[in-house]
Every structure is written in C-alpha cells, then in structure tokens.
Amino acid sequence: MEGGEAKKAANPRCYMDISIGGEMEGRIVVELYPGVAPRTAENFRTLCTGEKGIGPNTGVPLHYKGTRFHRVIKGFMIQGGDTSAGDGTGGESIYGLNFEDENFELKHERKGMLSMANSGPNTNGSQFFITTTRTSHLDGRHVVFGKVVKGMGVVRSIEHSPVGDGDYPTVDVVIVDCGELSEGADDGVSNFFKDGDMYPDWPNDLDEKPSELSWWMNAVDSAKVFGNDYFKACKLKLGDPKSALLDADFALREREGNAKAYYRQGQAHMSLNDVDAAVESFKKALELEPNDGGIKKELAAAKKKISDRRDQERKAYSRMFQVSVKSDANNEVMMSWTNIAEENSTLKIYMKSFGKWANIAGIQVGLKKKKSRSLEMDTYRKRKKLEPFFLKSSWSCIETL
C-alpha cells in the first residue's frame, strides 16, 4: 500500500458451541496464532470449518462438529477433538494421520491456553486441550497455538462436569456447532441464547468495560430479572409445577403480552395433567411468537394427548353397553339395556358422527330402520313418551350380544 504500511491481518478466531447433558451451555471463542505456529493453527481452523471433507485415513469428516470432550481433569485441563473414536484413541489431522511438532515457542503460562494433545513427539492429530490453570510442566512437550478469548465460563462448566473412569465425563459434553468468525464480525457470545439477555454470563467476555455506574446498575437489574425467570422455569424441572404455575400467573399479571410466561404456564398445566388449559396457554404464546419452534412442539404434543384421550374414551364407551336384541310381531327391533342400575338412569352414549355427547333417558328403546339409513328412536321413561331423537350414524359404538 502506497503512502504507508499495509494493515496487519488480524489473527483468525474460531468458535465452538457447547452442550452439556443435552442442554446448550454457551460459546467458546478462541484466537489462533498462525504467526507462531502456522501449520498447527491452520489444522485447528480447518477442523472447525470442516472444509476438507472426509479424512482419507479414518473415513470420517475432518470436522469437530458433533465430537465430544472426552477427558476432563478439574484444576488442569479439558480435552476434545477426537473426530473418529471419540474416546481419545482416534483422530486425524488435515495433513495425514499425524504431523510434526511445529515449535514450543508459546508456553502454558495461564488458564485458557489452546494446545495440541499427543501421544509422544511428532504425533499431533486433531485432538486438543484447553488449560484451566497454569501448566508449565507441559512446556516443551505440547504445541501451544492459541488461547480462549471469550467463554472461559463455559470452559469452567465443562471442567466441573461429573466424570467417571479415565476422567471421561458421565454426561455428554458436545461441540454442537463450530466454525470460523470473519474479521470484524460479532462473536455471538452476547445474547447467545436469543432470550433477550444482551449481557454475557461472565464480565470478562465484555468487549468493553464501561466506567459509568449507571451501566452497571442497569446490568444488575437486567440480570436479576432474567435470573428470576430462569429460577421460576427451574421449578418445573424440580417437580414443583404448582409453584411454577403461580409464578407464571404472577408474571402475566405484571405483563400480559409475555410469550415466555404463557409458555411456562402451558408447561405447568401439562405437568399437572390439565391438558386443555395447556393448549390454551400454548396458543396464546404462539400468537405472540408465531415462529417459535419450541412453542409449536409443545402445542402439538398437547393436542396429540387430547386426541389420544378421546380415542381411549371412544373405546371405553363402545364396550360399556351390552344389548339383548329381539323382534316383535310388527318386526320392530326391541333393545333392552341390561346394565341400567335404576329405571330413571340417564345413559351417556358417544355418537361418533356428531363428535359430542347425547343424553338419552329411559330403559327401552324401539328402533325402526328406514331407507335413508337414519335411525328413529322413540324414548320411553316410566311409560311417558318423549320427543323422538334422530341421528344419522350407525350404532357401531355399541356391541350386541
């Protein structure tokens, strides 16, 4: 560039979106150092993007997406990147099965250093680890090629995951998604969960540290509101749906157009087996957030539960009435209900074609078949003739002896 020196290119940044036990935990953003370890940094960057396709040696994608952190040692490091075996015995680099140690210029001098895992000299593949403290005893044995710049809180969450034999986590710690961030692009750490919370979970992840007291006061108030919302939501997971329902009702009194409150209200109703009320709550939530996949899923599940319940009711009532059938001199079919407890009992029969309940009083019912396939029913109660009842459906829901 004439008239001055060309602008120095920024170091590449990559991200990894992490789930723990099936629930999203957050995003880790790392900065790579191609100026110090170019081959090692490029190996990691490419494995984040998956641009190289299938590995010729392992036959699996050269991609960290979907892989697990398979080794976690509290107070030391977290290790992942096994693209083939998933347990620390596999993996493949973009240069072949393994590649050489590039240099040991950078040191494991603090937490958050990004370094290559290996099984000895010059055995670098795809596996990497992130330190959670200073680990100077690894200097000269493992190649450091980057550091965590945001998401150290997520690293800490992984570090404190429960582990079993061989330091393998007993819950799945998965890289759900990963890739490279273009220069100058937002790193996606703030509002990662798309819940309106614009503040990162850890102050260290702030791009700038505002000095105004008012900014920090507003941040505290916002954190309190979101914290209370999540606390109320956790009551459902803790098996306290009644309290969760009360909290949702209170939130709706405070702010009626609260889609999240309607959603939590619906979940609480489902936990209390009040499915009809749950459907109404989910419908209101969907009106406010018509593109929310979670609300649509819950509403569909509630509607299916209602449909299944109705099917069970139909089957149950189809076996409720057993009928003895005989013909009289006028060829009229006489049907005597055998399971009526009292003369004044009221029968409740589900009419399939109408989709609603019909209440029929009496003991004996006389039926005459007509060409129109309608059935004319004269209903008697203590010998008093009542109004005829017409229906256009078969009595398929009643079993005859």
Q: Are the C-beta atoms of residues 31 and 146 closer than 8 Å to each other?
A: yes
Question: What is the distance between the alpha carbons of residues 308 and 301, in angstroms, rounded to a whole number?
Answer: 10
Least confident of 181-190, 318-327, 355-364: 355-364
The band of 167, judged by pLDDT with boundaries at 50, 70 and 90, is: very high
Question: What is the distance between the alpha carbons of residues 36 and 146, in angstroms, rounded to a whole number?
Answer: 9
The pLDDT of 374-399, averaged and rounded, is: 34
Q: Which amino acid is at 255?
A: R
More confident residue, 270 or 251: 270
User: Among all residues, which ones are annotated catalytic?
Assistant: 71, 76, 79, 118, 129, 138, 142
Q: Give me the sign of the Cα torsion angle 23, 29, 30, 34.
A: positive
**pLDDT of 206 above 60:** yes
Does the reported pTM lie above 0.75?
no
**pLDDT of 401 above 50:** no
Give the pLDDT confidence score for residue 227 in this predicted structure. Answer: 63
- Please report which helix (H) or strand (E) contains residue 376, including its range: strand 375-381
CA 193 from chain centre, in angstroms, equals 12
- Please report which helix (H) or strand (E) contains residue 133, including its range: none
**pLDDT of 240 above 90:** no
What 53-58 contacts at long range (C-beta under 8 Å, 24+ apart), as own/partner pairs, is 55/83, 55/84, 55/92, 57/92, 57/96, 57/97, 58/83, 58/84, 58/90, 58/91, 58/92, 58/97
Q: Are the C-beta atoms of residues 71 and 167 closer than 8 Å to each other?
A: yes
Give the mean pLDDT of the chain: 76
The pLDDT of 173-201, averaged and rounded, is: 81
Q: Which among 328, 322, 317 has a CA at the least distance from the CA of 368?
A: 328
Q: Give me the sign of the Cα torsion angle 383, 387, 388, 393.
A: negative
* DSSP string over 79-119: EE--SSSSSSS---BTTBS-B------S---STTEEEE--S
Give the pLDDT confidence score for residue 383 in this predicted structure. Answer: 33
Give the pLDDT confidence score for residue 377 in this predicted structure. Answer: 37
The pLDDT of 121-125, averaged and rounded, is: 98
Question: What is the distance between the alpha carbons of residues 36 and 145, in angstroms, rounded to a whole number?
Answer: 7
The pLDDT of 209-215, averaged and rounded, is: 72
Q: Which among 167, 154, 153 has a CA at the least distance from the CA of 117?
A: 167
Question: What is the distance between the alpha carbons of residues 19 and 178, in angstroms, rounded to a whole number?
Answer: 12
**DSSP state, residue 388:** -
**pLDDT of 238 above 80:** no
Half-sphere exposure of 57 (CA within 13 A, CB side): 15
